């Protein structure tokens, strides 16, 4: 009788142990499902919020760009047209604070800034397209840096002392991506920049360009990436050594939006850069060089 009771007790203990193990396993599975569901729900909410913030940032960027994307329009009228905007540097830099939007159901805070810059930063130029720099007779160094393998073709348009328009062209191509061999002699003195990739950077001194006299008037400098990629592009930085005598080159509009009631809110930042100099289409390059008033 005692043995039977002992066996029954052992069986009950085994059943209880198995039951506990099953409950533990079910608890882990259920917890995992809850965690996954919570994660998916959180991700969905985050994606929806990001989309709303993106729409808000885009809406406010377009709001400013609608009236001030044209380089011929002065920025000085911004505070008059937008009471949310305040002047930071007269005629140069303005900051706007927008706090609501018809596109959102969250409490959005948006900061949109518009400014003009003498430094060109992270500007995209597609293969074989020109970016035109206004010089206004700037005769000092300019620093160039970019992100991808590309030869850089330069064209300096100037007016000589006789009033004739002329152009000097040259190619920086240390790895022979574009040119069949080393250009010799160079019209520009391409100098390396300390600490930078020597194949993706250089500086030039516009006071020492061959065939350009000290009394000649420097008008524009064109920059054209030459690449092997069919649909390639580069992002380039262009910076003057002496900003005081260098013209403003781009108008930058930056719009940032976040949920001001959420300490963990993502921040959506959009930016566009608008050249302040009329850009020459690359298809007119040959016409420019062939014009009777322009000599090489």
Of 37-51, 82-96, 201-215, 252-266, which gets the smallest average pLDDT? 37-51
User: pLDDT: is 140 or 42 the higher one?
Assistant: 140
Residue 290 lies in a domain: no
Residue 24 lies in a domain: yes
Residue 287 lies in a domain: no
Three-state SS string over 36-56 comes to: HHHHHHHHHHHHHHHHHHHHH
Question: For residue 180, what are its two tokens?
Answer: 């069949």
Structure confidence at residue 99 (pLDDT): 81
pLDDT > 70? residue 252:
yes
Same domain, residue pair 95 and 20: yes
Same domain, residue pair 109 and 128: no
Same domain, residue pair 215 and 69: no
pLDDT > 80? residue 31:
no
Same domain, residue pair 243 and 129: yes
With a CB cutoff of 8 Å and minimum separation 6, the contacts of 82 are 63, 64, 96
Structure confidence at residue 229 (pLDDT): 83
Of the pLDDT bands very low, low, confident and very high (cuts 50, 70, 90), residue 295 is: very low
Question: For residue 267, what are its two tokens?
Answer: 């921040």
Of the pLDDT bands very low, low, confident and very high (cuts 50, 70, 90), residue 175 is: confident
Residue 153 lies in a domain: yes
Residue 292 lies in a domain: no
pLDDT > 70? residue 241:
yes
Same domain, residue pair 255 and 110: yes
pLDDT in tens, 42-79: 444 578 889 999 999 999 999 999 999 998 999 999 99
Distance CA 19, CA 26 (A): 10
Same domain, residue pair 190 and 209: yes
Residue 239 belongs to domain with CATH number: 2.60.290
- Percent over 70 (pLDDT), the chain: 76
Q: Which of 204, 228, 247 is the last residue of a domain?
A: 247
Distance CA 207, CA 16 (A): 92
Same domain, residue pair 43 and 83: yes
Same domain, residue pair 51 and 93: yes
146: containing domain: 120-247
Same domain, residue pair 201 and 261: no
Structure confidence at residue 180 (pLDDT): 56
pLDDT > 50? residue 41:
no
Domain count, the chain: 2
List beta partners, residue 154. Answer: 170, 223
Same domain, residue pair 165 and 219: yes
pLDDT > 60? residue 268:
yes
Same domain, residue pair 157 and 216: yes
Structure confidence at residue 106 (pLDDT): 85
pLDDT > 70? residue 101:
no
Question: For residue 172, what are its two tokens?
Answer: 């920086």
Residue 225 lies in a domain: yes
Structure confidence at residue 75 (pLDDT): 96
Same domain, residue pair 29 and 109: yes
Residue 286 lies in a domain: no
Residue 285 lies in a domain: no
């Amino acid at each position: 009788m005692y043995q039977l009771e002992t066996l029954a007790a052992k069986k009950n203990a085994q059943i209880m142990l198995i039951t506990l193990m099953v409950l533990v396993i079910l608890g882990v599975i259920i917890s995992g499902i809850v965690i996954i569901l919570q994660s998916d729900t959180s991700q969905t909410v985050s994606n929806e919020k990001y989309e709303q913030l993106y729409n808000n940032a885009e809406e406010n960027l377009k709001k400013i760009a609608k009236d001030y994307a044209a380089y011929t329009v002065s920025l000085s009228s911004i505070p008059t047209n937008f009471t949310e905007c305040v002047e930071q540097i007269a005629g140069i830099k303005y900051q706007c604070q927008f706090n609501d939007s018809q596109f959102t159901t969250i409490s959005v805070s948006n900061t949109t800034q518009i400014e003009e810059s003498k430094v060109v930063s992270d500007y995209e130029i597609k293969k074989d397209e020109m970016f035109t720099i206004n010089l206004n007779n700037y005769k000092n160094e300019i620093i160039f840096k970019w992100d991808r393998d590309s030869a850089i073709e330069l064209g300096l348009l100037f007016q000589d002392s006789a009033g004739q328009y002329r152009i000097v062209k040259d190619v920086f191509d240390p790895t022979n991506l574009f040119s069949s061999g080393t250009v010799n002699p160079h019209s520009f003195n391409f100098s390396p920049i300390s600490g930078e990739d020597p194949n993706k950077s250089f500086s030039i001194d516009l006071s020492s360009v061959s065939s350009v006299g000290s009394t000649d008037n420097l008008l524009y400098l064109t920059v054209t990436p030459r690449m092997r990629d069919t649909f390639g592009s580069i992002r380039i930085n262009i910076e003057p050594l002496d900003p005081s005598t260098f013209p403003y080159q781009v108008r930058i509009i930056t719009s940032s939006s976040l949920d001001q009631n959420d300490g963990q809110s993502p921040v959506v930042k959009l930016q566009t850069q608008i050249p302040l100099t009329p850009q020459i289409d690359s298809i007119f390059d040959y016409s420019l060089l062939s014009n009777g008033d322009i000599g090489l």
